[in-house]
Chains A and B, each alone.
Chain A
Amino acid sequence: GAGVSQSPSNKVTEKGKDVELRCDPISGHTALYWYRQSLGQGLEFLIYFQGNSAPDKSGLPSDRFSAERTGGSVSTLTIQRTQQEDSAVYLCASSSQTGGHDTQYFGPGTRLTVL
């Protein structure tokens, strides 16, 4: 079946503009994660959705970052008033969430460049 897809694959924007990044998880996966991967860094957790529960937003670095998940499926990560330090690869992952040892399936990422 189809894996996790993300769009766009690359996004170049000017400082101060808003951007929206999209994630389509694997069908039936109830858990969805967003991560940020900066050059030479590991994965920085941003936000976690599980079913109809309130999302865990504890990783969002500022109030310029927000995310939503519509209908328990597609998710959009929005960054307002982008800054140069927001440049990174944004990765989305989904899992079936039957337990804490579930495998996360990652999309290919969106590379964001803020000029």
Chain B
Amino acid sequence: AQSVTQPDIHITVSEGASLELRCNYSYGATPYLFWYVQSPGQGLQLLLKYFSGDTLVQGIKGFEAEFKRSQSSFNLRKPSVHWSDAAEYFCAVGAPGGSYIPTFGRGTSLIVHP
């Protein structure tokens, strides 16, 4: 079975600073990987996903993530954070050819200081 770890519970950045949110997974082969964002009182929205091809994935709202097989990681990045990016971010991993039920990490809360 697959698993996913988000090591950081909270991350605080200043507006305009760069951002990297960490995600590590455990799976025996190349997994499907997702990043979702949850704004307060809202459901989750997909930012980006990786399932094959180019390991650098571009998403919405200026986010990108890079799949690194050697590090079992799929870290989310943004070059310049906006105050509206303050939210909860979830990494998820799915198993190709297996269950269609992705496993979600515990989330990282992003706080943005003006």
Q: Which of A45, A107, A109 contacts B101 (CB 8 A)?
A: A45
Evaluate contact between A108 and B42: CB separation under 8 angstroms: yes
CA distance A42 to B46 in the complex (A): 15
**Interface set, chain B 57-114, CB cutoff 8 A to A:** 90, 94-107
User: Does A100 count as interface, using CB distance less than 8 angstroms?
Assistant: yes
Q: How far is the CB of B105 from chain A (nearest CB, A)?
A: 6
Q: How many residues of A contact B (CB 8 A)?
A: 25
Q: Residues 37-49 of chain A: 1 if any B CB is under 8 Å from the residue's CB, otherwise 0?
A: 0000111010010
User: Does A91 count as interface, using CB distance less than 8 angstroms?
Assistant: yes
CA distance A97 to B104 in the complex (A): 18
Q: Main secondary structure on chain B at its contact with chain A?
A: loop
User: Does B55 count as interface, using CB distance less than 8 angstroms?
Assistant: no
Evaluate contact between A4 and B100: CB separation under 8 angstroms: no
Interface size class on chain B is 20 to 34
CA distance A108 to B42 in the complex (A): 5
Evaluate contact between A104 and B96: CB separation under 8 angstroms: no
User: Does B28 count as interface, using CB distance less than 8 angstroms?
Assistant: no
Highest count of chain B CB atoms <10 Å: which of A35, A42, A59: A42
User: Does A56 count as interface, using CB distance less than 8 angstroms?
Assistant: yes
Residues of B within 8 A of A (CB): 32, 34, 36, 41-46, 49, 51, 90, 94-107
